[in-house]
């Protein structure tokens, strides 16, 4: 690991995807603005550093608040997407807008510990191109949330998705790492799984997550399941291999069952009835539909990817590259 020079502080952008965050935005702006100004005062980042808020097609007045913040603060920039494209695409839009040496992504609810930003910069200066923010305490979560989160990471690991456990999208990336990430052009981006594939030197900082200050969580159980499906089908073909294994096992069972039925028929001990037949039909019908659903998910992704459509459209931008005096 090569240490970076501390003579010239790096420029840093903090990318914050926002969706219906009118309650949380004022607190988010105040806290991140304070962190950024303190880092600049300590000469740990350059005066060109800024916060980039990405409005992901919010239905409330989030964008109006972003515009107002841009007009009052030279270190704030805003990007408005033409419609809601999802958290991952909003994050990519913010990363695409950034031109700084270092980019940190964080959610607008600020449940992630912002004080880790300084620790991330220290790891960057030590030579890390990627620094993951990892939760080491889930005591603020409900039992249901902790259980489902554990199941989520376990499922992703078992399906062959290479990601950091208890890490969401709170991370630092160097300019080189961001440029390489933006070379991935697929529609179905699961950034948590793609970043480890970049292969750059990485490290971790640990923190305890706080409760949400305002607003509602944008990741209820339905979206968590959707995110898991997205990540699995975007990064691994393990489900298809499981289907093949299931088909092979089913064939073996069928052969054994057929041999048993023939032997019983010869011995004359078979009993007429439809229950076993109906159970077999329903079972194998369900297995076939499940397999077709998984295959269909992959085929659908191929269909979407072949279109080559843009991931998002930027409707409006606010803010410039003013230095903070």
Q: With both helix axes pointing from N to C terminus, report the angle between 25-41 and 62-72 in degrees, rounded to the nearest 10.
A: 30
Q: pLDDT value at position 10?
A: 92
Residue 198 per-residue DSSP state = G
Q: Which residues pair with 76 in a beta bridge?
A: 51
Residue with tokens 């750059």, as numbered in its chain: 200
CA 88, chain centre distance (Å): 6
- C-alpha 282/C-alpha 264 separation (Å) is 23
Residue 11 per-residue DSSP state = P
- C-alpha 69/C-alpha 145 separation (Å) is 33
Q: pLDDT value at position 245?
A: 79
| Tokens encoding 76 | 């704030």
| Tokens encoding 118 | 């300084």
Q: Classify domain 12-235+310-318 at the CATH class level.
A: alpha beta
| Residues 148-194: tens digit of each pLDDT | 767 777 777 777 677 787 888 899 999 999 999 999 888 778 888 88
> Could you give the C-alpha distances from 272 to 258, 265, 276, 277, in angstroms and in order?
16, 11, 10, 10
Q: pLDDT value at position 255?
A: 73
Q: Which helix (H) or strand (E) covers residue 135, if one does?
A: strand 130-137
Full pLDDT tens readout for the chain, 325 residues: 567 666 689 999 999 999 999 898 999 999 999 999 999 999 999 999 999 999 999 998 999 999 999 999 999 999 999 999 888 899 999 999 999 999 999 999 888 889 999 999 999 999 999 999 998 876 666 676 667 767 777 777 777 677 787 888 899 999 999 999 999 888 778 888 889 889 899 999 998 876 655 555 555 666 667 767 776 777 677 777 787 777 777 777 777 777 776 776 677 665 665 556 766 776 777 778 778 878 877 887 787 777 777 888 889 998 865 444 3
Q: pLDDT value at position 65?
A: 94
Q: What is the pTM of this model?
A: 0.76
Residue 142 per-residue DSSP state = -
Q: pLDDT value at position 217?
A: 56
- C-alpha 191/C-alpha 178 separation (Å) is 11
In the chain, count of helices (H) and strands (E)? 10, 8
Q: Which of 136, 116, 70, 139 is nearest to 318 (CA)?
A: 70
Q: Taking the domains of the chain in order of start, what are their residue ranges? A: 12-235+310-318, 238-307
Contact 40, 47 (CB under 8 A): yes
């Amino acid at each position: 690991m090569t240490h970076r020079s501390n003579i010239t502080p790096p420029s840093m952008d903090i990318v914050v995807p926002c969706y219906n965050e009118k309650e949380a935005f004022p607190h988010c702006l105040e806290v991140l603005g304070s962190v950024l100004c303190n880092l600049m005062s300590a000469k740990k980042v350059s005066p060109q550093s800024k916060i980039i808020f990405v409005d992901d097609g919010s239905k409330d007045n989030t964008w109006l608040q972003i515009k107002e913040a841009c007009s009052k603060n030279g270190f704030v920039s805003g990007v408005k997407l033409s419609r809601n494209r999802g958290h991952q695409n909003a994050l990519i839009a913010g990363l695409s807008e950034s031109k700084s040496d270092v980019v940190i992504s964080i959610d607008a609810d600020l449940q992630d510990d912002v004080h880790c930003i300084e620790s991330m910069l220290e790891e960057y200066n030590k030579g890390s191109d990627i620094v993951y923010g990892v939760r080491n305490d889930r005591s603020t979560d409900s039992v249901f949330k902790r259980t489902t989160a554990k199941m989520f990471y376990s499922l992703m690991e078992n399906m062959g998705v290479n990601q950091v456990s208890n890490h969401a999208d709170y991370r630092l990336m160097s300019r080189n790492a961001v440029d390489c990430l933006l070379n991935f052009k697929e529609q179905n981006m699961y950034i948590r799984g793609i970043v480890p594939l970049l292969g750059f030197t990485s490290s971790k900082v640990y923190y305890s997550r706080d409760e949400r200050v305002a607003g509602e969580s944008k990741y209820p159980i339905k979206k968590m399941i959707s995110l898991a499906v997205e990540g699995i089908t975007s990064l691994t073909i393990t489900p298809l291999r499981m289907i093949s294994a299931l088909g092979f096992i089913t064939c073996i069972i069928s052969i054994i069952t057929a041999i048993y039925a023939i032997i019983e028929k010869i011995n004359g001990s078979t009993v007429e009835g439809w229950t076993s037949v109906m159970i077999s039909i329903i079972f194998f019908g369900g297995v076939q539909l499940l397999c077709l659903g998984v295959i269909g998910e992959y085929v659908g992704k191929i269909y979407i990817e072949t279109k080559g459509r843009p991931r998002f459209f930027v409707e409006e931008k606010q803010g410039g590259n003013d230095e903070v005096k």
